[in-house]
Amino acid sequence: MIYYSSYCKHLVAVDCIIFGFDQEKINILLHKRKFEPYKGNWSLFGGFLNEKENLDAAAVRILNSLTGFTNIYLEQLFTYGNVDRDSERVISVAYYALIKTDQYSSFEGGEYDAVWFPLEELPELILDHNIMVNKALRRLRRKASSEPIGFELLPDKFSLPRLQRLYEAIYGEDFDKRNFRKKILSMGLLEKLNEKDKTESKKGAFLFRFDKDKYDELIGKGEGFEL
Amino acid sequence: MIYYSSYCKHLVAVDCIIFGFDQEKINILLHKRKFEPYKGNWSLFGGFLNEKENLDAAAVRILNSLTGFTNIYLEQLFTYGNVDRDSERVISVAYYALIKTDQYSSFEGGEYDAVWFPLEELPELILDHNIMVNKALRRLRRKASSEPIGFELLPDKFSLPRLQRLYEAIYGEDFDKRNFRKKILSMGLLEKLNEKDKTESKKGAFLFRFDKDKYDELIGKGEGFEL
DNA sequence: TCAAAAGTGTTAGTGTTACACCCATGA
DNA sequence: TCATGGGTGTAACACTAACACTTTTGA
């Protein structure tokens, strides 16, 4: 039985803000739009929702088809629904993604024609995409201090100096090395490995791994991640 | 010029979670659905997005047409887009609203056929509306501690005991009276009036008013509300 | 041997929590 | 006069922030 046929229907798009970390700063992946209108201008990765497709699934599909990424952290951000935000009336549901860039190293300039831009050097984007990026960044900052999403931007094994540089990049400020270690280790969520990362120093820095099981256990007890 | 005509269109709905505070507990306003499907079942207040209507405007319109409320706090919550969430494929953008219930006192049972339910006694709602309510409550809890949205649930003038009861209701736990006062007053955002509320005690409690100008000033300095 | 990054503890200060009594008033 | 809720200060404790030197090792 069809009940809602008298109501008007709308185009629904999904746009993805993709964050990556290159050991030094947070970057956003952009590409030049492939279709009209605004063809050739810098844009987030977006597409339209299909007829029998869950919203989250559309985000995964669009991300994969435009970048090749699979199995990445993806979270709904906000829905933009002003009538005049695009040349036609389109509702856009924005998602943001966190990429472990080490898994997609030789990426730039490849088949996907995507370019990483540092946060401070973003070009002008089409439509309201700059606004979306801003909101995504605020969300990333908030979430990174209350949930362990930062690890989604790092390889599975990482050194503490690298983790610290990540958080410094996210918040745009420097932290004290000793205080940072103390706090992050005191949560008991990092497993220290018997390996070192020697790419950044001669001495080498011990590698750690985020312990998801222990995190789930803490969540069960009403505790969790707090930086 | 029309570019997007080949893409499929979708029904887009707006659903509103309406919070109120009755001096004792947090309530949610519900009504029995007026149309098929699920007619007669408990439901949030919802409707469909019109053709040339901003998303926020639709939320305002729907809220007003179903409850008579005007000029209330309204914020986008989340967008629900699973294919099977309704009997037909409908994308629903959820909003939550905070009501100063004193402004709508003789409301229940009136022309709008709406009923306030305490949080702990919610009935089963249609579709994914219970999930929406849960998410709204989590959002309310998070926001109430970092932004002065609690005042949207109180009359313009309120006593500190009442403000405290509000926060206790939101978080479901009791706070120490002296610590609560100390913290909230130390922000310097409450203006003490020369009036007392004598409805709750013989002695009477001084009334305060939230000072929005001072809050905006603090925000400009990078500070703000933190409970 | 030296440059460059990794690793390590302590202290002062700040904020948080816990706690008990007097006050004002209407019934 | 007494029952009810309003209003007030302090001390222990926990957490945060500031700070400097030693270690390792490849070049």
B8 to A93: CB separation less than 8 angstroms, yes or no? no
* Residue B109 pLDDT: 58
| CA to C1' distance (Å), from B165 to D24 | 59
Asked whether residue A225 is domain-assigned, the answer is: no
User: Do the Cβ atoms of B81 and A7 come within 8 Å?
Assistant: no
The boundaries of the domain holding residue A139 are 11-144
Q: Tell me: do B38 and B135 sit in the same domain.
A: yes
Distance from C-alpha of A203 to C-alpha of A196, rounded to nearest angstrom? 9
Across the interface, which of B37, B51, B89 has its CB nearest the CB of A8? Answer: B51
DSSP notation for chain B = ----TTS-EEEEEEEEEEEEE-SSSEEEEEEE--SSSSTTSEE-EEEEPPTT--HHHHHHHHHHHHH---S-EEEEEEEE--TTSSSS-EEEEEEEEE--GGGG-TTTTSTT-EEEEEGGG----STTHHHHHHHHHHHHHHHHTTSTTGGGGS-SEEEHHHHHHHHHHHHTS---HHHHHHHHHHTT-EEEEEEEE-SS-SS-EEEEEE-HHHHHHHHHTT-----
d(CA B182, C1' D11) / Å: 16
| Last residue within a domain, chosen from A144, A174, A189 | A144
CA distance B53 to chain A (A): 6
Confirm or reject contact between B4 and chain A (CB < 8 A): yes
Q: Which residues of chain B fall below pLDDT 70?
A: 104-111
Amino acid A151: pLDDT = 98
- Per-residue model confidence as pLDDT tens digits over A93-137: 999 999 998 776 556 556 678 899 999 999 999 999 999 999 999
Q: Tell me: do B31 and B121 sit in the same domain.
A: yes
- The model's pTM: 0.95
A-B contacts (CB, under 8 Å): 103
Write out residues in chain A with pLDDT < 50, as ranges: none
Looking at residue A111, its pLDDT comes to 67
Establish if A152 belongs to a structural domain: no
Identify whether residues A106 and A164 lie together within a single domain: no
- Which CATH number is B171's domain given? 1.10.10.10
Q: Could you tell me if A97 and A189 lie in one domain?
A: no
Q: How many domains does chain A have?
A: 2
Gap between the Cα atoms of B97 and B69, Å rounded: 10
